[in-house]
Amino acid sequence: MPSQPPRPTADRKLVQIVDSALADVVARSGEWLACRPGCTQCCVGVFAINQLDAARLREGLRELEQEDPARARRVKQRTRQSQSRLRDEFPGNSETGLLGESEDEHARFEEFANNEICPALDPHTGYCDLYAWRPMTCRVFGPPVQTENGIGVCELCFQGATEGQIAAAVMSADPDGIESKLVAQLKSKGYSGDTIVAFALAEDCKSK
């Protein structure tokens, strides 16, 4: 795979749209939404991210190095430690950090590192050190979101709510499909395949 891709300029528009949609659904959800600063349930267990997410995270870590070098060093240390724990059983290529695409590798990923804490999470404060640059999965996790398998919602949220109350708060995160277009754009330039946060940050963590 070519060297790490830069973050597409249009990704900033995507982030603005998704964050605006999130603000709207938070207002509509009220107390049904359990998400609060310091709630870290969604920060435990690895999940796949695309190359757009990876580029955004790396940019965020580089910016954090300029703004708060000490926090950036801690993120890097946690990332290296996470990589070390995950490398041997990684269901893909641990050198490139890309997840495998075979049926067996997909099955292995379902059971892979479900208790691993995201290296971007500061375990002492319960806050994400790369929050402004977090993956799209993190941005939409919590509120009801329409997926190909139906409406997905965090198990901590909307407890006791009716189907109608949940449906009334469904989040439309990216109605114009900007994310898929940007991912396709990166793929056309040779940057493809999914990874996880710990390996997405790998190149930025080689330096001290």
Domain ranges of the chain: 11-205
Tens of pLDDT, residues 1-27: 446 888 999 999 999 999 999 999 999
Is residue 26 within 8 A of residue 33, CB to CB? The reply is yes
Tens of pLDDT, residues 152-170: 888 889 999 999 999 999 9
Token readout for 191 is 């940057």
Instruction: Determine the Cα–Cα distance for residues 99 and 49; give it in Å rounded to an integer.
Output: 10
- Digit-by-digit pLDDT tens for the chain (208 residues) are 446 888 999 999 999 999 999 999 999 998 998 888 888 889 999 999 999 999 999 999 999 999 999 999 999 999 999 999 999 999 999 999 999 999 999 999 999 999 999 999 999 999 999 999 999 999 998 899 887 778 888 888 999 999 999 999 999 889 999 999 999 999 999 999 999 999 999 876 664 4
pTM, full prediction: 0.91
Q: Which long-range contacts (CB under 8 A, 24 or more apart) does 177-186 make?
A: 178/10, 178/13, 178/14, 178/17, 179/14, 179/50, 179/52, 179/136, 182/8, 182/10, 182/11, 182/14, 182/52, 183/50, 183/51, 183/52, 185/8, 186/5, 186/8, 186/51, 186/52, 186/55
What pLDDT does 206 receive?
A: 60
As a residue count, the chain comes to 208
Instruction: Determine the Cα–Cα distance for residues 169 and 33; give it in Å rounded to an integer.
Output: 10
What pLDDT does 37 receive?
A: 82
What pLDDT does 177 receive?
A: 94
What pLDDT does 59 receive?
A: 97
